[in-house]
Amino acid sequence: MSNEIVKFVNCRLVRNHELIKEDLWIRNGKIINPEPVFFDEKLQAHRQIDCGNSIIAPGYIELQINGGHGVDFSHDVDTVANGIEKVAKELLKNGVTSFCPTIVTSPPDTYRKILPQVTGKTKGAQVLGLHLEGPFISPLKKGAHPEDCIKDIDKGIDSLMDTYSNLNNVKIITIAPEKDPSGSVTKTLTHMGITVSLGHSVANLSQGELAVQSGARLITHLFNAMLPFHHRDPGLVGLLASNNIPAGQEIYFGIIADGIHTHPAALRIAHRTDPNGLILVSDAIAALGLGDGKHHLGQLELEVREGKAYIAGTDTLCGSIAPLDTCVRIFKKATNCSTVYAIECATLHPARCLNMAETKGTLNFGADADFIILTDELFVQSTWIKGECVHQCKPEEWAALSSRPIEQLCECN
């Protein structure tokens, strides 16, 4: 990283919830304010890059991804570090600059082998920490999680430590709130700086509210693996409109906008009910970037048939094969939201959820220079980390993609 000042010109920045015509200045891997550089330091940019009127946005932040490109983070235990490195590099093509590798419900020995191997250092997208999705979930909403590995919280936080061994590299833990009825474990994890997410649950609204009052601030893949909305007890979905949560506390919720897991009407309901809490996630599996065939998701074998992933031999969906940038485009079309809002659902909102919005998810002065250059159709032209270009798409590649109707990417219209 050099002291060189680079100025990006002829661009539109996603800043302050708007697209503004302004230059972007970078130095030492950070976004800088040009005024003191010019007036106080009497310096000009050493290099200038013409962006051709493209959009510059913060890099996408992926909070739930199980693997990709043949790698399953929960299955390839002995080589998980190499697998994360491979996926981290591939994600750059989709504009992802930081992510939380997700480990599904697994035996204790799997966690003990995986957790020590995970660090934030890769040659691709930055690892923010692991998302442990289970095993403290409901067997009634297990989805693609193996029931024989699901556990109860019968010894408080010690139940988690006995299972995971340590939590040093953990950023998010998904828990069914009915497994922590007093909220004590949620409080402990929150005090440790770990984001507690609610999911794979049969909890009613009151149980969800108690979890939020105890510190939970995220819902895992809204609508999926939870009780359906009911007018007399809306369950976890009701948290989006609850008036029984701490004042000023935002409830964030991941949502899979791959055109398969969540109907466009459901996307619109979530968007209109709580726009500030919506976070786009891919929930991608090992088949991301590949075609139909057999793969793994943790302990279970899965198969991809006609672009949809199922537990092998069943019709149970088990993750997505759509990358996050595709989810952004599908979501924008489904909701008719603004370009800036669609981008913020994969940048600013996840950064705020993880309390990282000072450095990630924005183009504000002082933030990390992790950003992407996009076409108006939200196709990734290039990806930058710490002010260095780490991926550049050939124009013919995104031109070919942009000519493809979004309906071809979306089952539900």
Instruction: Encode the chain (413 residues) as per-residue pLDDT tens digits.
Output: 568 999 999 999 999 999 999 999 999 999 999 999 877 877 888 999 999 999 999 999 999 999 999 999 998 899 999 999 999 999 999 999 999 999 999 999 999 999 999 987 889 999 999 999 999 999 999 988 999 999 999 999 999 999 999 999 999 999 999 999 999 999 999 999 999 999 999 999 999 999 999 999 999 999 999 999 999 999 999 999 999 999 989 999 999 999 999 999 999 999 999 999 999 999 998 889 887 888 778 787 878 887 788 888 888 877 788 999 999 999 999 999 999 999 999 999 999 999 999 999 999 999 999 999 999 999 999 999 999 999 998 766 655 554 444 433 333 33
Residue type for position 297: L
Position 394 scores a pLDDT of 76
**The domain boundary residue, chosen from 327, 353, 379:** 353
Structural domain tally of the chain? Answer: 2
- Residue in the structure block whose two tokens are 């981008």: 343
Closest to 115 in 3D by CA, of 64, 61, 163: 163
Residue 367 among known ligand-binding residues? no
Residue 398 and residue 387 in one domain: yes
Residue 318 among known ligand-binding residues? yes
Beta strands 170-175 and 130-133: pairing type? parallel
Residue 365 and residue 382 in one domain: yes
Cα separation, 172 vs 315, whole angstroms: 28
Residues facing residue 175 across a β-bridge: 198
Residue environment code for 305-344, b if the CB has 16+ CB neighbours within 10 A, otherwise e: eeebbbbeeeeebbbbbbbbbbbbbbbbbbbebebbbbbb
**The domain boundary residue, chosen from 314, 330, 353:** 353
Residue type for position 388: E
Cα separation, 69 vs 67, whole angstroms: 7
Position 305 scores a pLDDT of 86
Position 410 scores a pLDDT of 36
CATH code of residue 373: 2.30.40.10
Asked if residue 304 lies in contact with residue 293, where contact means CB atoms within 8 angstroms, the answer is yes
From its phi and psi, is residue 130 left (phi > 0), alpha (psi between -120 and 50) or beta?
beta
Closest to 111 in 3D by CA, of 165, 157, 169: 165
Residue 261 among known ligand-binding residues? yes
Asked if residue 278 lies in contact with residue 287, where contact means CB atoms within 8 angstroms, the answer is no
**DSSP annotation of 117:** G
Asked if residue 352 lies in contact with residue 344, where contact means CB atoms within 8 angstroms, the answer is no
**For 148-268, where are the E strands, in sequence order?**
170-175, 195-198, 218-219, 252-256
**For 199-292, where are the E strands, in sequence order?**
218-219, 252-256, 278-281
Residue 74 and residue 44 in one domain: no
Output the pTM of the full model. Answer: 0.94
Closest to 320 in 3D by CA, of 283, 293, 294: 283
Residue 309 among known ligand-binding residues? no
Position 309 scores a pLDDT of 82
Asked if residue 7 lies in contact with residue 48, where contact means CB atoms within 8 angstroms, the answer is yes
Instruction: Retrieve residue 276's tokens.
Output: 């500030």
Position 319 scores a pLDDT of 77
Cα separation, 19 vs 97, whole angstroms: 20
Residue 266 and residue 281 in one domain: yes
Instruction: Retrieve residue 19's tokens.
Output: 């697209």
CATH code of residue 296: 3.20.20.140
Residue 200 among known ligand-binding residues? yes
Cα separation, 125 vs 85, whole angstroms: 9
Residues facing residue 60 across a β-bridge: 96
Cα separation, 237 vs 209, whole angstroms: 11
Residue 53 and residue 188 in one domain: no
Position 295 scores a pLDDT of 79
Asked if residue 173 lies in contact with residue 189, where contact means CB atoms within 8 angstroms, the answer is yes
Q: Which residues are catalytic?
A: 283
- Residue in the structure block whose two tokens are 């996603």: 14
Residue 54 and residue 64 in one domain: no
Residue 338 and residue 372 in one domain: no
Cα separation, 57 vs 48, whole angstroms: 18
Residue-range definition of the domain harbouring residue 347: 60-353
Residue 144 among known ligand-binding residues? yes
Instruction: Retrieve residue 404's tokens.
Output: 């493809």
